[in-house]
Amino acid sequence: MFSKSFRYYKGELYCDSLPVRDIVRAVGTPVYIYSLRQALANLQRLQNAFTDLGAHIHYSAKANGNLSVLRALIEAGAGIDCVSGGEIFRALQAGAQPSQVVLAGVGKTPDELRLAVEQGVGWVNVENVAECAVLDQAAGALGRVQRVALRLNPDVSASTHRYIATGHGGAKFGLAENALRQLLDRQADYPSLRFEGIHIHIGSQLGDTTATAQAAKAALTIARAYPDIRMIDIGGGFPVAYEPGRVLPEPEDFARILTPLLQSFEVILEPGRSIIADAGVLVSTVLYRKEQGGRSFVILDTGMTELLRPALYEAHHEIVPVIVPPDDAPREAVEIVGPVCETTDALAHGRLLSPVAPGDYVAFLTAGAYGAVMASNYNARPRPPEIVVAPDGHTWRVARPRETWDDLIRGET
């Protein structure tokens, strides 16, 4: 079993009650398949873990912004954490209440800030002194008062890959404590803003709870000195097990340290991958084998254009055959590579894999987060379809069709 929803049954990979092979035969590869049942269960688990805090979960749309995914999570009570005007548009299209939307991001444009105020988003998380002036002006021009959470850069080192750490002093994210305090002291200079929250997000895929506790304490110290601060937004970052057997803190571990600290505050969480990563797979077909330079290559019809994380972060994804090989088939160490004209288009090096041959299907596990959203048309590759399996586990539908060659040139002259 890879997650509750993706597991082998009778010799093949299933998504809930459906054989993955049946979906793949109908729509081709590469293809993303999401289990809404798993995503909803993940949301429920986080809601349960943080129930004593009454924490409100704003799913981070950047992890997977497919409308069907957003809709299911919104219907189950999630708000949405957005980082662009485009994500606000998606969230609203999916049915989010504007008051349940948070706009965050290190470089929001004046247009995006105006859109947020116009639409009435619940919170804007500000991370720059100059951004306050732009937002204040936008809100003033619209005759509105915007609630703001100031993003603290707590200068802590998160236990994670350096490319996804955001809370250290040298990072581009957040406001240093003194800059943040100065803003709070100068609230009167921003008549159209109400500084009522502190936001922290120290990184993704957090390997322990220590830095989160430090960051929360730093936020609390400030919040206690400014009675108008009534909300603390802890951000996302809850890790998922990309590799079997890897011991990682669970949502309940984070809840255990945060619950006593944040009792008297409204609490927002912005989880992304912990909700959708293990609810999705990317399925690919083996195109060719090649022995070369002492290495054995498996060449797939998917690569960095559909799953960028290995090339971008040296990330690990488990890769499993869709049809279980015979028990006695010895595994071999292979280079698993994509078709894109880049040496970094390698999905795994020296990976032990059951023998696969051209035509076989393989599935990349835990690919529901930061998979489709990071897909590109590089090498003029149409992006794959996204399939959702309904919470009933029995029915599936195309939530986003495969792009066509016409899509690739739409609007070009």
As measured in angstroms, the least distance from the Cβ of 203 to ligand PLP is 8
Tokens of 90: 């998606």
What does the binding site for ligand PLP look like in residue numbers (CB under 6 A)? 60, 62-63, 81, 104, 201, 204-205, 235-238, 270-274, 369
As measured in angstroms, the least distance from the Cβ of 125 to ligand PLP is 7
Task: Closer to ligand PLP by CB, 201 or 309: give it.
Answer: 201
Q: Which of 15, 82, 132, 341 is catalytic?
A: 341
Burial state string for 269-301 with b = 16 or more CB within 10 A and e = fewer than 16: bbbbbbbbbbbbbbbbbbeeeeeeeeeebbbbb
As measured in angstroms, the least distance from the Cβ of 106 to ligand PLP is 9
Residues 368/277, Cβ–Cβ less than 8 Å:
yes
Task: Closer to ligand PLP by CB, 62 or 90: give it.
Answer: 62
Closest among 82, 89, 195 to 136, alpha carbons compared: 195
Closest among 99, 222, 78 to 151, alpha carbons compared: 222
Task: Closer to ligand PLP by CB, 108 or 201: give it.
Answer: 201
Angle at 400 between CA 321 and CA 86, to 5 degrees: 120
Task: Closer to ligand PLP by CB, 271 or 371: give it.
Answer: 271
Residues whose CB falls within 8 Å of the CB of residue 284, separated by 6 or more in sequence, listed in order: 29, 30, 300, 301, 302, 306, 361, 362, 363, 364
Collapsed DSSP state (helix, strand, coil) of residue 405: helix
- 82 given a catalytic annotation: no
Number of continuous H segments (helices) and E segments (strands) in the chain: 12, 20
As measured in angstroms, the least distance from the Cβ of 220 to ligand PLP is 19
- Catalytic residue ranges: 341
